[in-house]
Amino acid sequence: QVRLVQSGAEVKKPGASVKVSCKASGYTFSTYNMHWVRQAPGQGLEWMAIFNPMGILTTYAPNFQGRIIVANDTSTNTVYMELSRLTSEDTAMYYCARDNNGWSVDYWGQGSLVIVSS
């Protein structure tokens, strides 16, 4: 079965960077794009990026352009999302989510909580 397993919670200081991983299994990794979506406490969903494991497409949301990098390791079927210059407003649950080849998500990771605090 399809599984997306994310890395654990992180606590970071303002100005630091965080790298969240998402290990995929149960399907052919290269044939589905991956989204990153975050959700601040008590808030709605916010799209961050879409990434193609074959390197064909990477698009970042304007709100994150310049401080987000999404990359992968095809040998381990893992996608990474790195967000830099963190502020308290980046405190959120971060999800990786598989695109079903139609700009919707059929599988979600369990989420990785990132807390930014001095």
Residues that bind another protein (CB under 8 A): 35, 37, 44-47, 50, 59, 61-62, 95, 100, 102-106, 108-111
H/E element holding 83? Answer: strand 78-83
Provide, rounded to whole angstroms, the least separation between the CB of residue 16 and another protein. 26
Based on CB atoms, which residue is closest to another protein, 78 or 98?
Answer: 98
| Both tokens assigned to 117 | 């605090």
Going by the DSSP 8-state scheme, the letter that residue 79 receives in this structure is: E
Based on CB atoms, which residue is closest to another protein, 15 or 54?
Answer: 54
| Both tokens assigned to 95 | 């999800």
Residues 49 and 104: their CA atoms lie apart, in Å, by 13
Based on CB atoms, which residue is closest to another protein, 30 or 59?
Answer: 59
Nearest to 81 by CA among 34, 40, 39: 34
Based on CB atoms, which residue is closest to another protein, 87 or 103?
Answer: 103
Nearest to 24 by CA among 42, 9, 6, 11: 6
Provide, rounded to whole angstroms, the least separation between the CB of residue 118 and another protein. 27
Provide, rounded to whole angstroms, the least separation between the CB of residue 97 and another protein. 8
Provide, rounded to whole angstroms, the least separation between the CB of residue 80 and another protein. 19
